[in-house]
Structure 1
Amino acid sequence: MTNVLKNVEKIIKYWWVGLILGILFILLGIWVFRTPIESFVALSIFFSLTYLISGIGRIFFSLSNRKELEGWGWLLAGGLLETLLGFALFANPGVSMIVLAFFVGFWLMFNGITTISTSIDLKKYQKKGWVWILISGILSTILAFMVLVNPLYAVSFISIFIALSLIFSGLAQVMISLELRSLGKDVAKI
C-alpha cells in the first residue's frame, strides 16, 4: 500500500503544470474568439510551418545519426515527406486550412476521449468534480465530430469550434489539476 501511495504522490506532484496549461488554453480560446478569421489563417500558416520545420529537423537528425541508427533511411524518408508536405501546405493556404480542419478535429477527438477517461479515473477516487470534467470531455468530443463531419463547412466556423474546444479543454485541465491537488492532499494525510 505504501508503494501505491508513493506512486500516486509522484504522479500528482506536478499538478500545477495542468493548471498552467489549462489557463493558457482558456486564454488562447478567448483570443481565437476575438479574432476568428485572423486566428484561423495564423493557425493554418503555423500548421504548415510546423510540418516544414519538423521535416527539416528529421532530415538533419537522420543524416547526423546515420552511423548510429540502423533505420536512419526511414527517418530520412519521413523527413523528406514531411518537408514536401510542409512546402505544399505553405504554398496552398486553402488546402492547408482544410487539412488543418481535419487535424484539429482528430486532435480534439483524442483530447475529448482522454478527458472522458480521466474523469472516469477521478470517479474511482471519489472526487466530486469528475462530472464536470466528463461533461467537458463530451462537449470537446462533440465539437470534434462537428469539425470532422463537414470540414469544408467547418472552415468558415472552425475558429469558433477551436475557441470553444480550447476553452472546454482548458477548463477540463484546470479542473483535473485542482482535483489532482486535492487528491495529493488526501494521500498526504494517509
Structure 2
Amino acid sequence: MGTQNPQASALQLTIGRTWWVILLFGILSTLFGLMAIFEPVRAGAGITWAIGLLAIAEGIVSLIAVFNKNLPISRGWMIVYALLSLLFGVMAVANPVSMAAAFVTVMAVWFIISGVLRIIFAVRVRKEIDNEWMLILSGVLGVVLGGLMLAAPIAGLIVAVIWIGVGALFYGILQIVAAFKIRKLAA
C-alpha cells in the first residue's frame, strides 16, 4: 500500500474544486470562436470596440499621471500620448468596423515592408546560405498578402478574425476537456 502525500491531496482537491472556472473559460472561448467564424465582421468590431474602451481608460489614466510630480517622461509627450489614446479609443468605440479596417491597413503595410526586407536580405546573403529561395518566397508572399489586404481591408479583417476564431474555438474545446479531467480531482 502506497502512502499519499497530504499536501498533494489538498492541492488536487483545491484544483478540482475550481474546475468550473476552466469550464467557463472554455465555453466562453468556444462561443467567441464560433461567433468569429460565422460572424467575423461583428466579432472584429467587438474586438476593436473592446480595445477602444481600453484605449480610453489608458488615455484617462495617462492624463491623470501628467499631474504626478515624479513623472518619468516629459509631460508634453505624456499629454500627446494621452490625447492620442483618447482619440483612438473614441474613434474605435464610435465606429469599430472602420477602425478594424484601419488595423488591417497598418498590418498590410507592415507585411509589405517586411516582405521587401526579407527579399533584400536573401539576395545579399545568398552566397552564405543555402536555399535562399525560401526566404525570397516568404518575402514575396508577404508582399502579396500585404497587397491583397490593402486592396480589400474588410476582407483582410474577415480572414484575420476567422483565424482568431478558429484558434479560440480549439482553445475553448481544450479548456472544456481539461475542466472535466480536473473535475475528477475533486472526487
The Cα of 1:174 is off from its aligned counterpart by: 0.6
Is the CA contact 1:18–1:174 (under 8 Å) kept in the aligned structure 2?
yes
* C-alpha distance in 1 between matches for 2:185 and 2:73: 42
TM-score (norm 1): 0.52
Q: Which has the higher contact order (CA 8 A, sep 6+)?
A: 2
Match of 1:96 among 92, 99, 103: 103
* C-alpha distance in 2 between matches for 1:180 and 1:33: 29
In the alignment, which residue of structure 2 is the partner of 1:163?
165
Match of 2:175 among 169, 173, 176: 173
The Cα of 1:45 is off from its aligned counterpart by: 2.9
Is the CA contact 2:15–2:185 (under 8 Å) kept in the aligned structure 1?
no
Deviations 1:28-54 (A, max 9, x none): 222222211232133223222222224
- CA RMSD for the aligned pairs? 3.7
1:20 aligns with 2:18: no
1:29-178 equivalence runs, <5 A = 29-57=33-61, 60=64, 73-74=71-72, 81=81, 84-85=84-85, 87-88=87-88, 90=91, 93=99, 94-97=101-104, 153=149, 155-178=157-180
Is the CA contact 1:51–1:83 (under 8 Å) kept in the aligned structure 2?
no
* C-alpha distance in 1 between matches for 2:28 and 2:44: 18
Deviations 1:98-119 (A, max 9, x none): 6799xxxxxxxxxxxxxxxxxx
Q: How many residues align?
A: 131
- Answer with 1 or 2: which has the greater Rg: 2
The Cα of 1:178 is off from its aligned counterpart by: 0.9
Structure 1, unmatched stretches of 5+, are: 102-149, 186-190
SS for the counterpart of 1:12 is helix
Q: Cα gap change, 1:99/1:168 in structure 2, threshold over 3 Å: closer, same or farther?
A: farther
SS for the counterpart of 1:29 is helix
Deviations 1:43-72 (A, max 9, x none): 223222222224424655x589x69xxxx6
* C-alpha distance in 1 between matches for 2:29 and 2:7: 34
Identity of aligned residues (%): 21
* C-alpha distance in 1 between matches for 2:9 and 2:74: 44
Q: Cα gap change, 1:41/1:96 in structure 2, threshold over 3 Å: closer, same or farther?
A: same
Structure 2, unmatched stretches of 5+, are: 93-97, 109-144, 150-155
